[in-house]
Chains A and B, each alone.
Chain A
């Protein structure tokens, strides 16, 4: 392909002796277009053909707005909890040696491996008024299952590994001499952590937060069991899509989906920006 041309200056690709560029890239692009891009484009095209006024009225429907508000609000709260506890878990796993550390490290990935529906029914059973945890909280007047708080609990479960697995490798790369230097210059441990270590970890924490948040916004399986799904109160946006589909109200389903897609692509773009920026500034992402 391009390596046979003698053009100087701008080149689409660098010459290589390795064969199979055309085959592998061709297959990759065809499969990508067929499985991902055409279906997504179909959704965007169908939504666009609704016309702007129709789309605007569907998007500003109060049930839609409430579902979006609940999805983004609970995902934000859960990502925040995960950012705090995820950093503590990562720190403990990277810095301390204790019996069962390997086991704990492996267990962090459980939410990646456990099907969301299983997590959903397990969490609901635990936090229901008669469940193992719910039974302790009910006398205190705290209701978790079938309220927005339940959604946050499910999203904490789903999002935890994103923060831990993003922050952990960056923590492992921290040069201990930086901390020793801070200590020599008179910083106490508290100052070293909050003014030397955490600023360097901030891009990783932010990336983990954004990944957990993005996953939480779209999460469906683990949430619908525990949420109670009361419209305007604990009905998440993905569920509203399913409900509109079951009503054969395709335009409304597509409108909600398109709003969510646009917001998640903006999120993806921001995550990439953070990573590019942190690679430049700190040499890792």
Chain B
């Protein structure tokens, strides 16, 4: 960095640009930013991988291949496979209604869609405990039909859907608003049906934004902790997702096993960030909003 600054200074005109900082201040600011990020972001990430392999690769492999860990991985994948498509369909429908039409109360609708972002994950779980618990109206009725929601997979899926609800919609709404509806109008005037316009015009237009929203939604769905923890009941091998499994191992002082499972989630985060960066550079899929 220092060498770069010097070369810049050498190439710069004799009179310093009045609309920028002196090289020293510039260097100091870059240093502050990088040190801050190194301490708060990089170090925790590095420590995850370091702790996971502290007891060697065999212990690592054993921790992620024991039956309870495998059950947790399977459940996490299952929950994401159900929750993400649900919110994908919702996101497309909501973005279509909001971006292609002008109607009263639109701003309020967008605020409602953002609602789950401002609800604590624990409360997102609690609402389903209240709705389906033994003291509720619905819980005992469903129980009498043998349907279990709480402390079972359906509850975990519901809580995950609640928490990841806005992700796809949030990415698509600004994108589709910016694109307008000219392309669809052209397709319709050329004789396309509504569905044809959607599949052959809209979907190709929004595919990168869609992928981007799905990536973020999936990362959150697989990593959600608070909401799932409240509704899951923590039954090992049955209702434990990967983040919950990490917690149980950690609380049992099985730290290196906890970190071993955590590396899988950290790997997912890195893949998500990598794909996201590629999408942004290639297709300018927009920045990650401010609201995740």
- Name A's B-contacting residues (CB within 8 A): 12-14, 16-21, 23-25, 27-28, 31-32, 35-40, 42-43, 46, 85, 88-89, 91-93, 95-96, 98-99, 102, 104, 106-119, 121-123, 125-126, 131-133, 153, 156-157, 160-162, 165-166, 168-169, 176, 179-180, 183-184, 189, 192, 207-208, 211, 214-215, 217-221, 225, 237-239, 241-242, 245, 250, 253-254, 257, 260-261, 264-265, 267-268, 272
Contact B44 A238 (CB under 8 A): no
B178 an interface residue at 8 Å Cβ cutoff?
no
Knowing A95-B20, A253-B126 are in contact, say whether A21-B97 is a contact too (CB < 8 A): yes
Nearest residue, chain A, Cβ from B3: A99
Q: Counting CB contacts under 8 A, is B210 at the interface?
A: no
Kindly identify which residue among B102, B120, B133 contacts A264, using a CB–CB cutoff of 8 Å: B120
> What is the minimal beta-carbon distance from A67 to any residue of chain B, in angstroms?
12
List of B residues within 8 angstroms of A242 by Cβ? 122, 229-230
Q: Which residues of B contact A221 (CB under 8 A)?
A: 121, 225-226, 229, 243
Return chain A residues, CB-CB under 8 Å to B60. Answer: none
Q: Enumerate chain A residues within 8 angstroms of B230, measured Cβ to Cβ.
A: 241-242, 245
* Chain B residues touching A, majority SS: helix
Residues on B with C-beta less than 8 A from A108 are 37, 41
Beyond known contacts A38-B131, A219-B121: 9 more, CB 8 A cutoff: A18-B100, A36-B116, A43-B123, A108-B41, A113-B216, A157-B40, A160-B41, A162-B290, A218-B123
- Taking CB as reference atom, which chain A residue is nearest B42? A107
Please report the C-alpha to C-alpha distance between residue A272 and residue B111 in the assembled complex, in whole angstroms.
9
Q: Which residues of A contact B188 (CB under 8 A)?
A: 17-19
**In chain B, residues 1-58, which have Cβ atoms closer than 8 Å to a Cβ of chain A?**
1, 4, 18-22, 25-26, 29-30, 32-34, 36-37, 39-45, 47-48, 51
Point out the residue from B22, B104, B122, B289 that lies within 8 Å of A218, measured CB to CB.
B122
Q: Using A28-B94, A39-B131, A92-B29 as known contacts, say yes or no to A168 and B44 having CB atoms under 8 A apart.
A: no
Q: How far is the CB of B47 from chain A (nearest CB, A)?
A: 5
What is the bound-complex CA distance between A113 and B269, given in angstroms? Answer: 5
| Chain A residue contacts of B222, Cβ below 8 A | 115
- Chain B residues closer than 8 Å to A25, beta-carbon distance: 97, 101, 103
Closest chain-A Cβ to B63's Cβ sits at a distance in Å of 13
In the complex, how many angstroms separate the beta carbon of A201 from the nearest chain B beta carbon?
A: 14
Q: How far is the CA of A165 from the CA of B292 in the complex (A)?
A: 10
A121 touches B258 (CB 8 A): yes
Give the chain B neighbours of A157 by CB distance below 8 A: 40-41, 44
Tell me the bound Cα distance from A209 to B289 in angstroms.
14
Q: How far is the CA of A73 from the CA of B199 in the complex (A)?
A: 50
Query: In B158-210, which residues have CB < 8 Å from any A CB?
Result: 158, 161-162, 165, 181, 184-185, 188, 194, 197-198
Interface centre among B45, B101, B135 (most CB of A within 10 A): B101
| Docked complex Cα distance between A99 and B5 (Å) | 11
A43 touches B126 (CB 8 A): yes
B284 to chain A, nearest CB (A): 13
Q: Which residue of chain B has its CB nearest to the CB of A16?
A: B101
The answer, among B94, B128, B225, for a CB contact under 8 Å with A117, is: B225
Cβ A89 vs Cβ B37 within 8 A: yes
Given A92-B33, A108-B37, A109-B276, the answer on whether A168 and B133 have CB atoms closer than 8 Å is no
Q: Please indicate which of the listed interface residues A38, A104, A265, A267 has the most CB atoms of chain B within 10 Å of its own CB.
A: A104
Give 5 A-B contacts (CB < 8 Å), ordered by A residue: A14-B103, A19-B197, A42-B127, A116-B226, A211-B290
Return A267 CB to nearest CB of chain B, in Å. 7
Looking at the assembled complex, report how far the CB atom of A225 sits from the nearest CB atom of chain B, in whole angstroms: 7
Contact yes or no, A118 B277, CB < 8 A: no
In the complex, the answer to whether B20 meets A16 with C-beta atoms within 8 Å is no
Contact between A122 and B131, CB atoms less than 8 A apart:
no
| Cβ contact within 8 Å between B114 and A107 | no
* Complex contact B262–A180 (CB within 8 A): no
Q: Is the CB of B288 within 8 A of A165?
A: yes
Kindly report which residue of chain A lies nearest to residue B1, judged by CB atoms: A98
B36–A85 CB distance below 8 A: yes
Asked if A126 and B273 sit within 8 Å, CB to CB, the answer is no
State in angstroms the CA–CA spacing of A184 and B119 once bound together: 48
Determine how close the nearest CB of chain B comes to the CB of A96; give it in whole angstroms. Answer: 6
Instruction: Return the chain A residue nearest B21 by Cβ.
Output: A189
**What residue in chain B is nearest A239 (Cβ atoms)?**
B122
CB–CB B47/A126 < 8 A = yes
**Cβ A20 vs Cβ B198 within 8 A:** yes
Of the candidates B111, B197, B246, which one forms a contact with A118 in the assembled complex, judged by CB atoms under 8 Å apart? B246
Partner of A115, one of B33, B37, B93, B265: B265
Q: Which residues of A contact B43 (CB under 8 A)?
A: 126, 132-133
Q: Which residues of A contact B197 (CB under 8 A)?
A: 19
Task: Evaluate contact between B126 and A118: CB separation under 8 angstroms.
Answer: no
B290 touches A99 (CB 8 A): no
A24/B225 in contact, CB under 8 A: no
- Choose from B41, B122, B290 the contact partner of A207 (Cβ within 8 Å): B290
